[in-house]
Structure 1
Amino acid sequence: MKEHTEDRFLCDECDRPFLSRSALIQHKRTHTGEKPFACKDCPKTFAQKTTLIRHCRSHTGEKPFVCDLCQKRFSEKGNMLTHRRIHTGEKPFKCETCETRFGKLSTLIQHRRQHTHKGEKPFVCGVCNASYTQKSHLVSHQKLKHMGQARFSCSVCSAQFDNKFHFTRHQRTHTGERPFQCDTCHSRFALKANLQRHQSLHSKEKQGRGCVSCKPHPGPGVAEWRDYSHQSNQHFTR
């Protein structure tokens, strides 16, 4: 360790400065690979005690962080803060190319690939070279195709899924269930995303904007509802 003249501590590997000796010690483990904090319930070890504490909650089920708006509980503060943005609508992460804003940094990173590398799929399967835009999609692929670890199997067509959300969505193609209902006109949809697109048409209809996909009509009136019906029928399915 090297101590700076301004009471800062410098890493002798990369010369990065730190304000305290303890912070420098933690940092040096990124160079040495030392992981002195061991979980008593599994073989995993960690470089920092705080990381061990967070990990231990996966065994105990402890969720000390509570959303003050809906009382949902979380094991990590960062996850609670990300969740809270669903209520507040806050989107602090902005794309510097198109200025679209996002509530999660990971979503922004995925979005950026549309601008930097068209069709970029950086996560590649080591067995069959299939590539994916998201790591979670690669993990699901490996479990389903190469490890035989499908968690959910459709009783109608035997399709297999690793993700419960995708499995539930698939089942609706057989049952015809449409659990998402519009508060304005009571139309029902199988997917929440389709409901949200549908509701946006109500907003545009109230503004007299007509069809945003084809030709807008000149003003409000009966034609508004015709344009709304046209968009519902022509530009997306339920």
Structure 2
Amino acid sequence: MVSAPALPFVVFGYGSLIFKARCPPPHVIAQGTRIRARPIIIVERQSNESPGLQFPDTSKAIGAKLFPGRIAQNLICVQNPGRVVTLVHKEDWDRFSGSDAFPDEDVVWGIAYTIDPVYEAEVRDYLDYREKDGYTMETLDIHSVIDGKEQTIIHNAFCYVGRNDNPSFIGSEPLDILADRIWRTVGPSGPNKEYLFKLANSVRELSPDSYDSHLFALEDMVKALDGQLSKESA
């Protein structure tokens, strides 16, 4: 009796996994563009960036219905950590967001990596190590607009979601304070603003539909700080 083929292992990557898409996870066999996912959200947290871990260039550009969140990236700089993005559940966002309303109109864009099922266990171990600082793996459906209608095109894609009970999690920050932090912070990975600029540019390039109001507003603020410094230095 022939056994049924193993289901593909699909991972939704966001944040630096968009602009580092040419260095994807091992054993990726497919990627694509212009799809969006709907159920989870984003917020602030601190993360350990593990050097040397890389991802391959075979993915789908997708959007998850999430809030564009922020997290601290450079744990080595304990006194002045930078910011990177993570996803959190909406109910968690509502508990710690303060006056920041959930932006229902926003979609967070990312990349769907389809992994060779033969290597699923190996890639899971790799990703669990890479995302070890306060993330849990959960599932979500990925959608795309086909012939003018939104349809589910990938069921139960895996996604790493931030936990608000881990020491690296920050929560919500006012946009101006967040922009100033990103503008000033430099860590082992380089200037934190480069993370922001690369992410914003990569989101623009993913699809004609890809847009993130929070991300682009933050980018404008940080670039304004750059411009202000240039004028003062002139």
Report the TM range for the smaller structure's normalisation.
Answer: under 0.3
Q: Which has the higher contact order (CA 8 A, sep 6+)?
A: 2
Structure with greater Cα Rg: 1
